[in-house]
A = this chain, B = another copy of it.
Amino acid sequence: MINTVAIQGVKGSFHHIVSQEFFEKPVDIIECMTFDRVVEALINGECDAAIMALENSIAGSIIPNYAMIDNNHLHIVGEHYLDIQHNLMALPSQRIEDIKEVYSHPMALLQCKRFFRGYPHIKLVEDKDTAEVADRIQKHKLKHIGAIASVLAAEIFELDVLAHSIQTIKHNETRFAVVKRTNSEVSESEINKASIKFEADHKRGSLATILNVMSDCKLNLTKIQSLPIIETPWKYAFFVDVTFDAYADFLKAKSLIEIMSPSFKLLGEYKNAKL
């Protein structure tokens, strides 16, 4: 049973939305200001699961989060996709002409830069979190201040949305992992996706050989990311996601790659959220 989930950010953050959408029953959340703290909460047993962004369609993989899952031997037990929409919000009855400063996370400010070119009177100020600013505006009844955050944050902190979907690139899909201390409890018949990590030599064709095995075993590759292994030149680690119809096919490929690669690690097996 999942009762408590650690998220990066506060209530109203995108990680909070994922915690609402992914689990069938309502869960309690632990608000964490960093991913380090999210992982700490999970390892210490303060929660049953954690939610961590893994990649987005603008910036690609969030490698430090992959590394934290890998180094702490955590297990990916599920995935969830969210289309990140940024909205400008303020206290009710404030108009956009009244707003003098907008506070938000540097990434959110960057993604909404073009919108604010139309409002040169507004000063953009970097802050720690998107939703936390919305909370602060309501708590201290801050006039002339705007936040960039989710519609959920506007609802929770009772702010008015002055402009919807103000991000420059309209479609910014982010993939989140649901992570636990122990392996998946998903039944084998439901598993149709896996995240693995393996190393391959710089030797010509060594990656191609492993991908051939995957292809022969009827696995589809949905993501591949090479990462140089620090302090070991000419050796590479690969983070790979694969989907499959039959779990037996994956098990067969796994046994073969375990023999072929000097290091093979299963980061998680779970249900594909993209079907």
Q: Are B230 and A218 in contact (CB under 8 A)?
A: no
A113's nearest neighbour on chain B, judged by CB, is B36
Q: With a CB–CB cut-off of 8 A, which chain B residues contact A45?
A: none
Is A106 in the interface zone, CB < 8 Å from B?
Answer: yes
Per-residue contact bits, chain A 196-207, to B (CB 8 Å; 1 contact, 0 not): 000000111101
Per-residue contact bits, chain A 217-249, to B (CB 8 Å; 1 contact, 0 not): 011111111111011010010100000000000
Q: Are A215 and B226 in contact (CB under 8 A)?
A: no
A217's nearest neighbour on chain B, judged by CB, is B204
Q: With a CB–CB cut-off of 8 A, which chain B residues contact A231?
A: 171
Q: Are B61 and A60 in contact (CB under 8 A)?
A: yes
Q: With a CB–CB cut-off of 8 A, which chain B residues contact A218?
A: 204
Number of copies: 2
A239's nearest neighbour on chain B, judged by CB, is B60
A66's nearest neighbour on chain B, judged by CB, is B60
Query: Which residues between 161 and 208 of chain A lie within 8 Å of chain B, taking CB atoms?
Result: 169, 171, 173, 202-205, 207-208
Is A63 in the interface zone, CB < 8 Å from B?
Answer: yes
A219's nearest neighbour on chain B, judged by CB, is B204
Q: Are A215 and B205 in contact (CB under 8 A)?
A: yes
Q: With a CB–CB cut-off of 8 A, which chain B residues contact A212?
A: 205, 208, 212
A241's nearest neighbour on chain B, judged by CB, is B226
Q: Are A207 and B202 in contact (CB under 8 A)?
A: no
Q: A126-B126, A202-B220, A202-B222 are in contact. Are A60 and B227 (CB under 8 A)?
A: yes
Per-residue contact bits, chain A 53-70, to B (CB 8 Å; 1 contact, 0 not): 000011111011000000
Q: Are A61 and B58 in contact (CB under 8 A)?
A: no
Q: With a CB–CB cut-off of 8 A, which chain B residues contact A205?
A: 211-212, 215
Is A214 in the interface zone, CB < 8 Å from B?
Answer: yes
- Bound-state Cα–Cα, A57 to B223, Å: 19
Binding site for B on A (CB under 8 A): 57-61, 63-64, 106, 126, 169, 171, 173, 202-205, 207-208, 211-212, 214-215, 218-228, 230-231, 233, 236, 238, 274
12 contacts between A and B (CB under 8 A): A57-B228, A57-B230, A58-B64, A60-B60, A106-B106, A171-B230, A173-B228, A203-B220, A204-B215, A204-B218, A223-B226, A224-B226
